Amino acid sequence: MSEGKNVDALFLLYVPHNRVASPRPHRDDATTHIRFRAARGDAHNRRLRYAAPRPGLGSGTPRCGRMERPPRLLSSPLWLHGRRCDVCVSGAALTWTAATGRTRIPGRAGSHCVPVCEIVGVQEAAGRSQKSEPGRWPRVLQKPDKSQQPAFTVSYVGRGRQHRWRCSEVTFHCADWSTCHQWVQTIQEQLSLLTNRPKRLLVYVNPFGGKQRGRQIYEQKVAPVFSRAAISADVIVTERANHARDHLKTEAELKEYDGVVCVGGDGMFSEIVHGLISRTQLDSGVDQDSPEETLVPCSLRIGIIPAGSTDCICYATVGANDPVTSALHIVVGDCQPLDVCSVHHDDALLRYSLSLLGYGFYGDVLTDSEKKRWMGPARYDFSGLKTFLTHHQYEGTVSYLPATGSVGSPRDRMKCRSGCHVCQHNSPLPSVDSLEDETKAVLANGGPRDVWQVVRGKFVAINAASMSCACPRSPKGLSPSAHLSDGTTDLILVRKCSRLDFLRHLLRHTNKDDQFDHPFVEVHRVRRFRFAPRHHDADSELDLRDGGKGLFGQICRDHPACGCAAPRSTWSCDGETLPHTSIQVRVHSKIIQLFARGIEERPAFQDPGVLYAA
């Protein structure tokens, strides 16, 4: 029918995102507003056409188009807030629609759709005067009465602003107990089919990190969510540094659990990662001290409940430092692979790095802040200002192996999001063993210039970011286009510059300008790199601790205004200092997995497509 003909009605329907116009929604995907035109003429002459498809909520959500309707498992009229609703559950979604009308107005009662994969749990909620007794079947109510009806409550994931999730609830009242039991049993059966969900977790709580609220956060915000999802948890409150790491390496019975959860900051998460990786390599017979060994991926997923000072890793992988949001990601069984960098000195493993390796400015900030832990989180601001005014510059040599053949670059502004195609395209990456063979062949032919790149000079800062390193103070992070699981790290070299230029570089971490658009800043996407300070022969723990020999060395360190630059800085590895400055770093792709899905894009219903019936 042509658009010039008369139109009888123009009204809005709230239908599933992946379905054409239908009186009732049956899909599990995100919903969107659809404009529907009912024109005069025979019903069989009406044709549907839809606008350009748009992505749905979360990763892996199909794009809109014509899809087959999933079979209904159970459908019946129930009561919600005293109003009759048509409720339906399929293998994909739970939907309910107000039976008083077909119009869906945003913000008002109407059609709702919750994917089964985002249902937290279901439980019976009996009325005040109707109680079930063992061995007796309750009488059937002739008329629905809200105060006496049997009911069941469904807890599900609700999305808020700034990537925050909340545990929402809806309570349906039934006419009789048989209907209530049937609904609860059907929904529980569908939840039991979700094999990616954890059933038993090992939880480590750090009571000392951040504002020392780790135990309170778990008991008040996380434990109730786990209880609704019928997840059992064995909780261990750590008593000292590296308690969780040592327990995972030697004592924990990992086969009994579906995942490991840490309640704390980035330091606590680093403990969990070190313990889990070390235990996996030990069980697999892998020598961690060898830089050429390929690590075996860990089978258990790791969950992060933010309770620290910055929670950089949680912010970069979820998008919010919210304990409830992280707990819900654990409940629904999300999985996000993560790269890990091994840091070696000669033939000894120093640490594993997941977010940031920093030499120069960030190393000096960490070293100074460790002496002022009594100041709390404010010590970072104080030490940062002090280090900026000192403005040390360090001489050394950086050698790196570029990530040739990978998709993306550090300056392409392609941010890593849920379902990132860069991480998917670069997996699996060429094996490092083949890269080593290529390197050896080039070395045999006369030099490493075709593979390894070498940069010498004085540097204010040398940073290696395996993720964006975003946090509330720096929403973009140190490398906005870094990816979580593409098998690379972004090597950022800040050469010798003035204090004013370096301040301009730091300020761009907080705005939308390109922070690498300075002549003294270089950024490279690499798979491996090495660093050697100028005085390589004197590299020792004693030199790093003392910072010079004799009285004059100490005076120069305490009073940098004399103009004598410090001989070397200290490497900062995820908030911990390293005892050596000469290091070699290698990226291991997808070694661990988080209970996360990456930062989600803006939901599709905020920019809806338009579907017409002419």
How far the first Cα of the chain sits from its last, in Å, is: 6
The answer to whether residue 450 is catalytic is no
Question: Considering only CA atoms, which of 161, 597, 599, 165 is closest in space to residue 417?
Answer: 599
Look at residues 36, 267, 78, 103 and name the one whose alpha carbon lies nearest to residue 186.
78
Q: Which helix (H) or strand (E) holds 46?
A: none
Cβ burial, residue 441 (10 Å; 0-12/13-18/19+): exposed
Partners of 88 in the β-ladder: 75, 95
Contacts 24+ apart (CB under 8 A), 52-58: 52/609, 53/609, 54/604, 54/607, 54/608, 54/609, 55/601, 55/604, 56/17, 56/18, 56/29, 56/30, 56/604, 57/29, 57/30, 57/159, 57/600, 57/603, 57/604, 58/418, 58/597, 58/600
What is the C-alpha separation between 430 and 489, in angstroms, rounded?
15
The amino acid sitting at 51 is A
Which of 159, 327, 115 lies closest to 229 in space, CA to CA?
A: 327
List beta partners, residue 352.
Answer: 342
Q: Are 55 and 46 in contact (CB under 8 A)?
A: no
* DSSP code, position 355: S
Could you tell me the two tokens for 430?
């060429």
Distance CA 195, CA 199 (A): 10
Determine the distance from the C-alpha atom of residue 247 to the mean position of all C-alpha atoms in its chain, rounded to a whole number.
25
Write out 388-454 in H/E/C secondary structure: HHHCCCEEEEEEEEECCCCCCCCCCCCCCCCCCHHHHHCCCCCCHHHHHHHHHHHHHCCCCCCCCEE
Marked catalytic residue, from 28, 176, 258, 266: 266
- Say if residue 465 is exposed, middle or buried (CB neighbours under 10 Å; 0-12, 13-18, 19+): buried
| Gyration radius of the chain over CA positions | 29
Going by DSSP bridges, is the β-strand pair 259-264/200-205 parallel, antiparallel, or unpaired? parallel
DSSP string, 485-545: SSS-EEEEEEES--HHHHHHHHHTTSSSS-TT-STTEEEEEEEEEEEEESSGGG-SHHHHH
Which of 339, 352, 365 has the alpha carbon at shortest distance from 428?
Answer: 339
Catalytic residues: 266
